[in-house]
Structure 1
Amino acid sequence: MAELELITEKSDPAVQRILDVTKPSRSSIKTTLIEDAEPLLQCLGAGLGFIEVYGSENTPVPADLLAACAERNVPVRLMDTTVVNHLFKGERKPKIFGIARVPRPGTFGDVQQRTGDVVVLDGVKIVGNIGAIVRTSFALGAAGIVLVDSDLGSIADRRLIRASRGYVFSLPIVLATREEAIGHIRESGLSLMIFDADGELAVDDLGAQDERLALLFGSEKTGTSDGFRGIPSTSVSIPMISSAESLNVSVSAGIALHERTRRNVTAD
């Protein structure tokens, strides 16, 4: 394989491109930074369009990543250590990273075209939890995720990309208002399951249901909002010992989706 070109000058156009992408106050997010080999491979596999991928001069670019980039005609170059340090002052310095074009936002129509259950997160704001739910939802066959009141302005948020290990682009994720999410559930005919400590059903009852479900999880502090309780729904609880106050929302979502694998993974 040909030797990779080394970027040694801070004046290289790629350097300014990366600096622009990492600005926290961008008003329009058209490109994003993907960090580390595993997320890069996942994003390439999901069809994300890359402008270029970079490695640091002292870290070999994995052969499988080089092959994936070559297959998709994505340029790969190395960066001098001083240039990497210039780019990532005062923060974690990735050894391998790339600049990708942000795809259009997910829509309810995208979610409807898929066969699995829909995960709805109402007021879940901790990005680490959202990212973990994204990974689990993809792995266990969910059709997509609807984020309500998440405080995220884009699914291309670097924190979310990191937390999801790049899976954020592998299934539709819709940023919606509460009214839009409620309207979609009504119009789509999805059976709404609201997770609550005192549910009518236990979570293992979900495995026997063949219809497509909307699985609604609220924040750990406030639960789900009253607006969702105004539409036909069934409450679901996860049995646990009485001395435990609650489960992390990403754990709850994982338990629920695991109960649905017979239906969702087969349907997928």
Structure 2
Amino acid sequence: MASLDVITDRSDPAVQRIVDVTKPSRSVVKTALIEDPEPLLQSIRAGLGFIEVYGLETTPLPAELLDACQERNIPVRLIGTAVVNQIFKGDKKPKAFGIVRVPKPRGFADLAETTGDLIVLDGVKIVGNIGAIVRTAFALGAGGIVLVDSDLATVADRRLVRASRGYVFSLPVVLATRDEAVAALREAGTRLVSFRADGALSVRDLHDADGRLALLFGSEKTGMSDDFEGLAADSVSIPINPAAESLNVSVSAAIALHERAHRNLPAR
């Protein structure tokens, strides 16, 4: 790729575009900020439409990222240090970032087109945990994720993109109310198994379970809501040291998905 242009003028239209997209509250989210090389690469591979990708004048962009941008005809420019400092001010300055058009929200129809197990997070609100689960779900072949009462307005939330390392765009992640999720799971007929401390089955029993499963994990504080009680076919527990109070929800999801990886990865 030829030498890159450098933005040194604060009045460049791109600068205002970046400032606008970093604002914490926007009524309509049409564009999003993707930060750092790995999430950028993953988002490009997921087929997102980028307006432009930027690097710091003082930090060379990775060759792999430049090649990916060139292959997809994504414009790339560098930004001068003074302008970067004005844009991000007290925030951490990413080594690379891009402005992407937010894709159409995924729905339950998108989940129906996949074959791997589903992850259902009921009331899980800690974005770091959600992001870790998204990344693990993609790595271990899950078909998609349903976020129920997550307090997220969009999967392009800057925190979630960062926490998932950009993998949130690589598999269907559906935002839903409890009523919507219960109705869709009931209509699909997918076997729902809930994870709880006193589950009747051990997580090891999932290894040989036939067909697609929906693995349900409750919130960090209150657990599974009553709305799913009558829908769950089985309850599952993960054996742990009785002196330990519990496992982090992202760790529990990873253990469950590892038990199912022999089925989900070939299907993916």
Cα distance between partner residues in 1 of 2:123 and 2:231: 18
Distance 1:37 1:250 in 2: 24
Shift of 1:90: 1.2
Q: Which amino acid aligns with 2:203?
A: V
Q: Residues 220 and 246 of structure 1 are in contact (CA less than 8 Å); yes or no, is this contact kept in structure 2?
A: no
**5+ residue gaps, structure 1:** none
1:13 paired residue number = 13
Is the Cα–Cα contact under 8 Å of residues 201 and 236 in structure 2 kept in the other structure?
A: yes
- The answer to whether the 8 A contact 2:6-2:80 is kept is yes
* Alignment TM-score, normalising by the size of structure 1: 0.99
* 2:134 matched residue in structure 1: 134
Deviation of the 1:89 alpha carbon: 1.1
| Counterpart mapping for 1:120-159 below 5 A | 120-159=120-159
Q: Secondary structure at the match of 1:50?
A: strand
State the shift of 1:264 in Å. 0.6
* Other-structure match for 1:79: 79
CA displacement, residues 106-147 of structure 1 (integer Å, 9 cap, x when unaligned): 110001100001100001000000000000000111111000
Q: Distance in 1 between matches of 2:100 and 2:48?
A: 7
Do the aligned partners of 1:210 and 1:263 also contact (CA within 8 Å) in 2?
Answer: no
Deviations 1:40-87 (A, max 9, x none): 000000001100000000000111100000000000000000110011
Identity %: 70
Residue of structure 2 equivalent to 1:210? 210
| Displaced runs of 4 or more, over 6 A | none
The one-letter amino acid paired with 1:166 is: G
**Structure 2 Cα separation of the partners of residues 88 and 130 of structure 1:** 25
Q: Distance in 1 between matches of 2:152 and 2:233?
A: 27
**One-letter amino acid matched to 1:116:** G
Q: CA deviation at 1:174?
A: 0.5
Residue-pair matches, total: 268
- Deviation string, structure 1 residues 129-168 (Cα, Å, up to 9, x no partner): 0000000000111111000010101101000000000001
How far off is 1:184 after superposition?
1.0
Please give the secondary structure, in 2, of the residue aligned with 1:52.
strand
**SS of residue paired to 1:165:** coil
What runs of 5+ residues in structure 2 fail to find an aligned partner?
Answer: none
Secondary structure (helix, strand or coil) at the match of 1:257 reads helix
How big is the alpha-carbon RMSD for the aligned residues of Structure 1 and Structure 2? 0.7
User: TM-score, normalised to structure 2's length?
Assistant: 0.99
Distance 1:267 1:53 in 2: 34
Does residue 223 in structure 1 map to residue 228 in structure 2? Answer: no
